[in-house]
Structures are given as C-alpha cells and as structure tokens.
Amino acid sequence: MKLFYSPGACSVGIHVMLEEIGKPFELQLVPLKDQGQDKPEFRAINPKGKVPVLQRDDGSVLTEFTAIAFWLGAKFPEAKLLPADVDGQAETLSFVDYIAGTVHPQGFTRQFRASRFTPNPADEPKVVEQGKALAAEYLQLIDRTWKGGEWVMPQGYSIADAALFFVEYWAVKRVGMPVPPRIEAHLKAMLARPAVQRALAASGMAA
C-alpha cells in the first residue's frame, strides 16, 4: 500500500490507521504548501487534487477520508478498528463522516484557507472568525454527545478515534483554541499511542 499525504493535513488520520494495522506501506509526499496537489503526476492519480489517497497493493486507488478509513477497518479486521456488527459500523462511519464532511471543511478549512469561502479578500478575517466559532461549536457537540469511554465509540478504539485526532490536533496544536474536557483527554490518550507517535514523527509534526 502507498499513502499519498501532506504533513499537517487530514491524511495524518489515515497514517495513524496504517500504523495501527501494522502492515507494510509506503509514504508518498504531496506538498500542499507547494501546490503539489496540482501537479499533473498527482492529478493523474487523483483528479480531485487532494489527500489522502491510498493506492492498494493491486494498484487501484481509493480517495476520500471516510472511504479509505472504512476500507482499512474492513480489510484488516484483526486490527479491530471497525466494529464487527453493521449497527456499530454505521455509527462509526456516521462519526467519521461528520469529522471529514463538516468539522474539517467548515470549522478548519475556513480558518486555514479563507480565500476559498469569499471572493473578497477584505472578508477573509470574518471567514476565519466564523471558522473558529464553528469549530468550537462542533467540538462542544462531540463532547456533549460522547457515547464511548476513553475512546469515541462504546466498542473501543476505532477509525473514529483516528478521525477525531486530526481535528483536535489542529485545534490545540495549530490554532491554540481551548477544547472541551473529553476532547482534551482524548487528544492526550491519542498522543500516548505508539502508532500516533510514529505517524507524527514521519511527518515531522510535533507530538
């Protein structure tokens, strides 16, 4: 397997899953800061021009965080990253999709790439402030509706934890915003996991 990633991007969540699974994989850097996602050689792999991308052993490619996370959990059941029952899988995917489809773009992309949300540069500070407010709202909702114990899902550690990790890491380490108690505790628990430490070290990200 080969993971196309960029340091600090949401691809770190998939990297964590791969480290947890423990099967051989390669890393292929796509430097977003240098518009690596727009280079023809990468667009040939993923026309959407974004990471993460997972190239499987047979050469086929998977895109979109939720799809990759589900495939990894289902393909390697011995890692126990996805509940065995359909109801548990649906709940887990619902959480992952909320992170990838709402919390990430609305709460954090607004802060990091405000120009995508307004044609007027003068409005970008307002977009950033809106992103901060939404991120705080989303994290409060996650804290308030928490179903698990130490980990997100009642069944235990899963792909949901790796998904939450990248946005809570952004909130605390990149933005410096206060987070609710369960989110803070979860981030500390994630940072203590060897798989997370390996993923961060490989990307040159602070633990």
- pLDDT tens-place values along the chain, 207 residues long: 999 999 999 999 999 999 999 999 999 999 888 888 989 999 999 999 999 999 999 999 999 999 999 999 999 999 999 999 999 999 999 999 999 999 999 999 999 999 999 999 999 999 999 999 999 999 999 999 999 999 999 999 999 999 999 999 999 999 999 999 999 999 999 999 999 999 999 999 988
Residue 145, φ and ψ in degrees, nearest 5: -105, 20
β-pair type (53-55, 2-5): antiparallel
Residue 78 φ/ψ region, left for φ over 0, alpha for ψ in the -120 to 50 degree band, beta for the rest = alpha
- Position 190 scores a pLDDT of 98
pLDDT of residue 32: 85
Closest by CA to 89, choosing from 153, 17, 163, is 153
| Number of residues that make up the chain | 207
Query: Pairing state of beta strands 53-55 and 61-63?
Result: antiparallel
Tokens of 126: 């307002």
At 29, give phi and psi (nearest 5°).
-70, 130
As beta bridge partners, residue 55 has 2, 61
**What does the pLDDT read at residue 9?**
95
- How far is the C-alpha of 23 from the C-alpha of 132, rounded, in Å? 37
The separation between CA 155 and the C-alpha centre of its own chain, rounded to angstroms, equals 20
Phi/psi of residue 62, nearest 5 degrees: -115, 135
Tokens 């959407």 correspond to 48
d(CA 177, CA 167): 12
Q: Tell me, what DSSP letter sits at residue 171?
A: I
pTM of the predicted protein model: 0.95
* Angstrom distance (rounded) from CA 40 to CA 117: 25
CA distances from 30 to 16, 52, 128, 180 (A): 17, 9, 25, 32
- For residue 29, the tally of other CB atoms under 10 A from its CB is 13
pLDDT at 54: 98
